[in-house]
Chain A
């Protein structure tokens, strides 16, 4: 019990962020019309591409002599960018179609 409490206390900021983000995520989705589910999923898909920051940190910290680490880091950066760029571009393409006719809605 004390372990759990002290853990909570040590990481209280993180815990706040996690819980509030969870609630935010739920709130944001609940009011969405079914029409926008696919673009929204795709948009959310692009946002989790934020994992690329981790890949960049790894890459930047890698020892320039260590080829294996560099290559692994490079692959991670490429994959992360694919996720981010591909995700946003696909979402934009989908949403573009809804926007073409401003007179409706």
Chain B
């Protein structure tokens, strides 16, 4: 009886994930969708604790241990998730993803010695071993990769680490890992001690591969990598589902695996990058030569200051704000909103132009601006806002760089050529706020800064905007 209820609970949980994920795809239903998925998860977890039976009808023991684990994990997860700054969210997602991957790898680590004991000299369970080893490999790649992604996004690690021949090393690693997995799963090494040793080597190699895979990837491509690792963990969870014949794990894992893969592809499309390009990293190397070329001729740019800009804004009809990661880092989203309201009160039309990859992840900038109460319909997506630039008086580019680089349209040699960008150069005046003339994430110079209609406003976004706000109040 118990196991029938358990299976029904798993069925309900799977339905909850699917509906939850579906609901998360619409702004109105998104939050309930998340809660629904969480509810399904809670159901699956508690049903497992109380109703799970193995083949011999033994129930699960060690409830005390299970609950202590759940309580510790919940507290830590809750606190971390509540305390994290919204700007640091991509890192946080990466960390949680890594935890899931590590969990999958640990399951495999515990399962294979147990399986070895039971085998004796009977037939080798190829399928079982293959499942365990795949979970081990994918889980650990996902874990170590996510940790590196976290360190890189968090700024604990340089962005431009280039390991010589990393493509060759990685290719060798991949083939090594696949070969070893096939060899172990196929039962070519049946001696228990040797099997165990090679399984640990496989674990180490996978961890190393995860590191080697993420380290050379450029910062701008990080969201794509996190999304990819996310789908890896989904697959690792699905292998766990195979292992235990557990439908909730299987459907949940596969769903995330395929959804994550598609999301990765969608993100790549938004940046006009192919997945192979991201993984084999043509970005940084291509960018360097271009940057070097432009360094030769000293170009001049105009500089403006906060009070001039405040006057300009005050007498404009229409202002478009292009927020970028620099804005988020400076925590200036609230000041921006304040400025927007001041201008709005004076009859200036203010809109935000949101590039698909503004911030660090698609939609990241929307989340940040929503946090400071900016109206949802003031945030306009790229394709809708691009025709409006020519009718607008002032464009304020706040801490964005590569997404407004005209080279993407004009210079076929540029590494970002072909990436859809915001056509800010069509506006009557463009004001770019940056901390310095340094290059953006793609590592290339931006011709926009040197154009006649462009004025530079140097300084921390928050400080500069606060100055503008106080100037505006005095006008």
Task: Return A97 CB to nearest CB of chain B, in Å.
Answer: 4
A contact residues around B111 at 8 Å (CB) = 58
CB proximity to A under 8 Å, residues B229-262: 230, 233-234, 236-238, 240-244, 246-262
User: Whole-angstrom distance between the alpha carbons of A78 and B34 in the complex?
Assistant: 21
CA distance A37 to B366 in the complex (A): 10
**Are B103 and A52 in contact, CB atoms less than 8 angstroms apart?**
yes
A34 to B270, CA, bound (A): 9
B369 closest partner in A (C-beta): A97
A54 touching B363 by the CB < 8 A rule?
A: no
CA–CA, A12 and B264, complex, Å: 29
Q: A100 to chain B: closest CB distance in Å? A: 7
Of A7, A33, A35, A92, most buried by chain B (CB within 10 Å of CB) is: A35
- Known A-B contacts A76-B106, A82-B76; the reply to A51 vs B253 at CB < 8 A is yes
Supposing A48-B237, A50-B237, A97-B371 touch, asked if A43 and B376 sit within 8 A by C-beta, the answer is: no
Q: Determine if A75 is an interface residue (Cβ-Cβ < 8 Å).
A: yes
One of A48, A56, A73, A75 near B253 (C-beta < 8 A): A48
With a cutoff of 8 Å between Cβ atoms, the chain A residues found around residue B438 in the complex are none
For B195-230 the 0/1 string (1 means CB < 8 A from A) is 000000000000000000000000000000011001
Q: How many angstroms between the C-alpha atoms of A82 and B80 in the bound complex?
A: 9
A63 to chain B, nearest CB (A): 9
Which residues on B sit within 8 Å (CB–CB) of A21? Answer: 250-251, 254-255, 258
Interface of chain B residues 79 through 122 with chain A (CB within 8 A):
80-82, 84, 86, 89-90, 92-93, 95-97, 99-100, 102-104, 106-107, 109-111
Residues of B within 8 A of A43 (CB): 20-21, 24, 33-34, 37
Q: Is the CB of B30 within 8 A of A53?
A: no
List A contacts of B361 (CB < 8 A).
37-38, 41
B25 at the interface (CB under 8 A from A): yes
**Given A28-B259, A34-B356; A49-B21 close (CB under 8 Å):** no
State how many residues of chain B have any CB contact under 8 Å with chain A. Answer: 115
How far, in whole Å, are A87 and B24 apart by their CA atoms in the complex?
14
Contact A35 B27 (CB under 8 A): yes
Chain A interface residue bracket vs B: 35 or more
**Residues of chain A contacted by B35 (CB below 8 angstroms):** 92
Interface residues in A46-89 (C-beta closer than 8 Å to B): 46-62, 64, 69-70, 72-89
Q: Is B185 an interface residue (CB 8 A)?
A: no
A29 in the interface (beta carbon within 8 A): yes
With an 8 A cutoff between CB atoms, is A17 at the interface? Answer: yes
Contact (A51, B103) CB under 8 Å given A43-B33, A78-B73? yes
Stretch binding the partner chain, chosen from B63-71, B400-408, B466-474: B63-71
* Residue contact A36 to B24, C-beta cutoff 8 Å: yes
In the complex, A14 has a CB within 8 A of chain B: yes
Q: Report the separation of the CA atoms of residues A43 and B260 in the bound assembly, to the nearest whole angstrom.
A: 11
Q: Measured between alpha carbons, how far is A58 from B251 in the docked complex, in Å?
A: 20
Whether A59 lies near B62 (C-beta < 8 A) is: yes
In the complex, which residues of chain A have a beta carbon less than 8 angstroms from the beta carbon of B288? none
CB distance from B75 to the nearest CB of A (A): 8
Cross-chain contact B41 with A54 (CB below 8 angstroms): no
Q: Is B379 an interface residue (CB 8 A)?
A: yes
Complex-state Cα separation, A71 to B44, whole angstroms: 23
Q: How far is B34's CA from A96's CA once the two chains are assembled, in angstroms?
A: 11
Q: CB distance A51 to B256 under 8 Å?
A: no
Q: Is the CB of A58 within 8 A of B110?
A: yes
Which residue of B has the minimal Cβ distance to A77?
B69
B76 touches A59 (CB 8 A): no
The answer to whether B93 and A90 have CB atoms under 8 Å apart is yes
Complex contacts, B262 vs chain A, CB 8 Å:
25-26, 29-30
Task: Point out the residue from B82, B127, B226 that lies within 8 Å of A93, measured CB to CB.
Answer: B82
B28 to chain A, nearest CB (A): 7
CB-defined contacts of A17 to chain B, threshold 8 Å: 247, 250-251, 254
Complex interface: chain B residues within 8 A of A60 (CB): 49, 52, 59-63, 66
Out of A31, A39, A50, A78, name the residue touching B72 (CB < 8 Å).
A78
User: Bound complex: CA of A80 vs CA of B17, how far in Å?
Assistant: 17
Distance to closest chain B CB from A47 (angstroms): 5
Chain A residues near B302 (CB-CB < 8 A):
none
Q: Does B27 contact A96, Cβ atoms closer than 8 Å?
A: no
Q: List 20 A-B contacts (CB under 8 A).
A: A22-B257, A25-B256, A28-B21, A33-B381, A42-B93, A47-B17, A48-B233, A48-B252, A50-B41, A50-B249, A51-B103, A53-B45, A54-B243, A57-B244, A77-B69, A81-B74, A82-B77, A88-B34, A92-B38, A101-B373
Binding site for A on B (CB under 8 A): 13, 17-18, 20-22, 24-28, 30-31, 33-35, 37-38, 41, 44-45, 48-49, 52, 54, 58-63, 65-66, 68-70, 72-74, 76-78, 80-82, 84, 86, 89-90, 92-93, 95-97, 99-100, 102-104, 106-107, 109-111, 127, 226-227, 230, 233-234, 236-238, 240-244, 246-263, 266-267, 270, 354, 356, 361-364, 366-367, 370-371, 373, 375-377, 379, 381
Q: Which A residues have a C-beta under 8 Å from some C-beta of B?
A: 7, 14, 17-18, 21-26, 28-62, 64, 69-70, 72-101, 104-105
